[in-house]
Amino acid sequence: MYDKSNTKADFYLGSKIEDISKELLSITPTCEITRTPRSLEDIKDWKASEKRAFLLFYAVPLLRNRLPPDHLVFLMYLCGGLFRLLKKSISREDLQEAHTYLKLFVAQAPVLYGKQFQTFNVHQLLHLSEVVEDLDPLWSNSCFPFEDYNGDLRDLFHGTQNVDGQIVTAVSIIQKLPEIARSTTTSPSVTAFYEHLTRKGQQVFSSQNQRWAKVFL
């Protein structure tokens, strides 16, 4: 909405960011919202809780008179759908309404913003109601712990060639090393050396792909 590449679009808000931020900063949130609002100019530094508060509570009132009607309704579909899926108690009706709103949001995305907006992440919104039905409200599940695992995976390959093969090889090393060590290691000094090598963050040499692969046991 405020990307300079969209300056000619009717939904462009770049020239209004300062005014929107002033209104945002004037808001005194209720006790349920733990962080006070920050300027949109600092949005890159916002925490997840700040983005959630903006989407669920601030966005529609702040943009009501600044977005074209069809774009405002589009935003309301997203807000309404996610609000229902983030409630502490979610009824069957909430699930159905949320799915309807998010389905409308996904359908309108390429119409209002172009096919480039029809991304995988946008498509995933279609499955959120099903996820909540299976795993409870969105707030009760978090993917943040998996961020650390993504870092571990990045340490299992180097460069851009045969990434999947490198990961499979490194994981095979991780899985086989304890078994090999138990069956072949008898010397206390060798055992100590093995434990030193396999300590988190240490490197184990892979003779198969002739690379040093970081493994985390």
Give the pLDDT band of residue 173 (cuts 50, 70, 90): confident
Alpha carbon 142 to its chain centroid, in Å, reads 9
The per-residue pLDDT of the chain, averaged, comes to 85
Cα-Cα-Cα-Cα dihedral sign, residues 98, 101, 104, 106: negative
Q: Which helix (H) or strand (E) holds 63?
A: helix 59-63
pLDDT in tens, 187-216: 788 778 777 777 744 444 444 444 444 444
Residue partners of 80: CB distance under 8 A and separation at least 6: 97, 98, 101
Give the pLDDT band of residue 129 (cuts 50, 70, 90): very high
Pick the more confident residue, 111 or 198: 111
pLDDT in tens, 135-165: 999 988 877 777 777 888 888 899 889 999 9
pLDDT at 60 over 70: yes
Which pLDDT value is given to residue 207? 41
pLDDT at 97 over 50: yes
Alpha carbon 186 to its chain centroid, in Å, reads 47
